[in-house]
Amino acid sequence: MSTGRNVVNPVLRVAPAHPATAAAHFRASLAFHTDVSDVAAALAAGGDPGFVLLDSRSAQAWDQGHVPGAVHLPTALVPEQAEHLLHRSVPVVTYCWGPGCNGATRAALALAERGFRVKEMLGGFEYWVREGFPYETRQTTERRAADPLTAPADAADCGC
């Protein structure tokens, strides 16, 4: 039985953008973000990946685990130490804990304000570990099995 009400689909309550507008938005998004799998592939290829990976978490978090090869620079210290640790000619990719943390975004902002080219690694350290990539702790290198909800179950490439 119909109530006679005109129910608006919540997905389409606001109409999708025009394709050209959407393309500009998504192109811009890719200029600001990268993901864990792309960073891992670039680092695994050997040689110079063309960027510096920056962990913007605290020293305690760094000791708990970090991406091998990352540079440690807590967000709060970016203003005073970035110039000494990084070169403006090399793009920087920031990460923090995970999707619920904006520390990497704040670090990226601070770096951009100082003239660095920067991207943020979506998913942060959480998704690095969840996707089964190795990480270093204060004592050792570890690796957990990939979470099947974040990484392909039977393939090295998710196809995206």
Q: Which domains does the chain have, with CATH numbers?
A: 19-142 (3.40.250.10)
The mean pLDDT value for 107-119 works out to 98
Considering only 39-43, 54-58, 110-114, 154-158, which range has the smallest mean pLDDT?
A: 154-158
Pairwise CA distance, residues 132 & 143, whole Å: 6
- The whole-chain average pLDDT of the chain stands at 92
The mean pLDDT value for 54-61 works out to 97
Considering only 3-12, 14-23, 99-108, 116-125, which range has the smallest mean pLDDT?
A: 3-12
Read off the amino acid at residue 85. L
pLDDT at 3: 55
The mean pLDDT value for 110-137 works out to 97
